[in-house]
Structures are given as structure tokens and as C-alpha cells.
């Protein structure tokens, strides 16, 4: 693993933007990372990922890639595979962990196989299939496209009419349609950095749930409480489950996992984010800050972990 002094002698390429529905969030992540690294005296170039990415990286003489992408083509293993083929070390998880983590259906299969608690769910290939028969669990249910992040296309359906509308919307996106049993409880998220559980933050959205508007909307009213208001034993269990999920998928660098904690103290893991956001409202930096790790230090920790994984 290179030292900070060695890294400052290398050309760092922060890859952001891209072609997914999360492009705007990615640009904000990339801008924040670029600013922090430049202020810390790193040689940084910010690169908006398009289909000429390989040529751009070569032209800019990039030696290490800091991936600040979200969504398809960036969080799903595509860019990681390109960087492996180019022999260019990069931050975050490798091809396999990234692709499995991005596909919520495969993530669920890993959770079930490894005994990680997750809500009951049903998977459909088409909207017609999702609408043709009764579900194995009652309303309300959560409907989501299987390959989107940042709560894009996610709906809570409380009745058959809302369910139909949610399914038709989810079907607009690539991948499968995932329908989950709705679990009522506290929304919490746990972060892992370099195979160490950092802590758990609690989210109190002003809206019905922590959707895209609650995450990124100006003055959304969402509150973030760190550490999460959980009993010490329960807090430790959430930390352990998030670390277990990180390791089960074979992740590297940082991950952030979404979970629900019920009044009875049951924990349900929803998904793992292999490239957590690094914007002003992102939760990984908030958790790290609560542990005494500044934003710049967090960026440096991720940069120090850059490597080839294949």
C-alpha cells in the first residue's frame, strides 16, 4: 500500500459524472473529492466518464483512479473491469463485488445464503408477471428496480392501485423488478472502511421514507443522528451485520449498508452500496466525521487502498 507522500507524486484521476440516472449526484461527489485532494496538495484531474474514458485516462497520464461514480457503468463493475484491463489501480471494490452489489436481486441471494437478515421478497422479470397474481406477503410493499441506486424508482405501495403504478414505473428501468415486504422501523445506515465497522447513523426523513427527494432535495428536512439512538447491544449488532455484508460480497475500501431496525430489535438489511456518496449530505462522510476522520482524511484512506483486484 503506497504512503501519502508516494501518492502525492502520482497523477490522480477522479472519475465522476457518467451516463447513469445518478449522474448529478456523481458530479457532486467528484467535485467534493477533487477539491479536498487538491487542497491537500495532490496532483488531481477530474474526468467526466463517457465512452472515451480509456483515451482520456491515457491522455491525462493518470496513474491512480479515484472512482466517484454512482449507478450503471460506474458502480456495477463496468469501469472497474476497464481499469483492470488497463492495469490502472483504483479505489473501492473490484469487478465482482461491484456487479453483485449493484444488482439487488443477487445481493439478496448472498444475504440469504450467508444468513444475513433481509425482508421477504419476490422477483419479477416483467410488469405483467408482477401484476398477474397475489404476493406472498401483505401490503404495504416496497417496489424497486433491481439495478438503480439513490432510491431511483423506489415506491411504497399501500394498496393494489398504488402497487400497479409502482410496478409500471419500476419496469421503465433496466433489470428486474424487486418487491419487498415493508418493514416498519428506524432507518439506519452502517459504514465499513477497510474491513472495519465505522458506526451507524440514524435517518429521520421528513417524507414518508428516505427517497431521492429526502436524500438530495434542498431543505428536505431530513435529520441525521450519529450515533444512532440504539441500545449498545443493538448498535453493535447493526455494525456487525453491515461488516458481515461487506465481507460476504468481497468488498474493498468503503461501503455503506441500509438497514431497518424494528421496535422489537429485529434488524433487516436492505442493500449494500459499494460506492457510497461523498457529497455534502452523504452519510459515509458524516459517520467518518463522527469517528474523528475528516473528509480529506477519508479521501486519503480510500486513495491509499487503491489497487488492482483481479
258, 268, 282, 305: which is the annotated catalytic residue?
Answer: 258
150, 239, 252, 257: which is the annotated catalytic residue?
Answer: 150
Q: What are phi and psi of 286, to 5 degrees?
A: -65, -45
16, 187, 271, 300: which is the annotated catalytic residue?
Answer: 271
Give the residue ranges of DSSP H helices in 144-282.
160-170, 212-216, 232-248
Q: Is 256 a catalytic residue?
A: yes
Q: Nearest-CA neighbor of 200 among 110, 291, 118?
A: 291
Do residues 120 and 269 make contact, with C-beta atoms less than 8 angstroms apart? no
Q: Nearest-CA neighbor of 89 among 13, 153, 186?
A: 13
Residue 60 CB neighbours (<10 A): 13
Burial of 91 (0-12, 13-18, 19+ CB in 10 A): buried
149, 256, 268, 300: which is the annotated catalytic residue?
Answer: 256
The residues, any chain, with a CB within 8 Å of residue 264's CB and separated by 6 or more, are none
Judged by DSSP in three states, 203 sits in: strand
CA distance 254 to 230: 23
Residue 68 CB neighbours (<10 A): 32
Q: Is 258 a catalytic residue?
A: yes
Q: Nearest-CA neighbor of 211 among 160, 142, 137, 267?
A: 142
Q: Is 150 a catalytic residue?
A: yes
101, 190, 253, 277: which is the annotated catalytic residue?
Answer: 277
21, 239, 252, 273: which is the annotated catalytic residue?
Answer: 273
Do residues 164 and 179 make contact, with C-beta atoms less than 8 angstroms apart? no
Biggest CA–CA distance in the chain, Å, is: 61
The residues, any chain, with a CB within 8 Å of residue 292's CB and separated by 6 or more, are none
Do residues 180 and 142 make contact, with C-beta atoms less than 8 angstroms apart? yes
42, 90, 210, 216: which is the annotated catalytic residue?
Answer: 216
Catalytic residues: 22, 150, 216, 256, 258, 271, 273, 277
Amino acid at each position: 500500500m503506497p504512503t501519502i507522500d508516494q501518492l502525492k507524486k502520482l497523477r490522480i484521476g477522479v472519475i465522476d459524472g457518467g451516463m447513469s440516472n445518478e449522474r448529478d449526484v456523481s458530479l457532486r461527489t467528484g467535485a467534493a473529492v477533487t477539491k479536498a485532494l487538491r487542497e491537500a496538495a495532490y496532483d488531481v484531474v477530474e474526468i467526466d466518464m463517457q465512452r472515451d474514458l480509456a483515451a482520456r485516462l491515457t491522455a491525462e497520464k493518470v496513474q491512480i483512479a479515484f472512482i466517484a461514480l454512482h449507478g450503471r457503468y460506474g458502480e456495477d463493475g463496468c469501469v472497474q473491469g476497464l481499469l483492470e484491463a488497463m492495469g490502472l489501480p483504483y479505489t473501492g471494490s473490484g469487478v465482482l463485488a461491484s456487479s453483485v452489489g449493484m444488482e439487488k436481486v443477487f445481493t439478496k441471494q448472498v444475504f440469504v445464503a450467508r444468513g444475513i437478515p433481509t425482508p421477504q421478497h419476490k422477483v419479477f422479470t416483467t410488469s405483467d408477471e408482477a401484476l398477474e397474481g397475489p404476493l406472498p406477503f401483505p401490503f404495504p410493499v416496497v417496489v424497486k428496480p433491481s439495478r438503480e441506486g439513490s432510491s431511483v424508482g423506489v415506491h411504497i405501495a399501500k394498496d393494489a392501485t398504488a402497487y400497479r403504478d409502482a410496478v409500471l414505473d419500476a419496469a421503465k428501468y433496466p433489470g428486474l423488478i424487486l418487491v419487498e415486504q415493508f418493514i416498519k422501523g428506524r432507518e439506519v445506515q452502517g459504514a465499513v472502511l477497510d474491513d472495519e465497522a465505522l458506526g451507524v447513523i440514524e435517518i429521520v426523513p421528513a417524507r414518508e421514507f428516505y427517497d431521492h427527494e429526502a436524500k438530495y432535495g434542498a431543505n428536505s428536512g431530513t435529520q441525521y443522528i450519529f450515533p444512532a439512538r440504539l441500545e449498545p447491544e443493538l448498535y453493535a449488532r447493526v455494525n456487525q451485520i453491515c461488516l458481515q455484508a461487506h465481507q460476504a460480497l468481497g468488498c474493498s475500501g468503503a461501503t455503506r449498508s441500509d438497514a431497518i431496525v424494528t421496535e422489537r430489535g429485529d434488524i433487516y438489511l436492505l442493500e449494500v452500496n459499494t460506492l457510497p456518496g461523498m457529497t455534502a449530505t452523504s452519510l459515509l462522510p458524516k459517520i467518518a466525521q463522527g469517528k474523528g476522520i475528516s473528509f480529506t482524511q477519508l479521501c486519503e484512506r480510500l486513495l491509499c487502498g487503491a489497487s488492482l483486484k483481479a
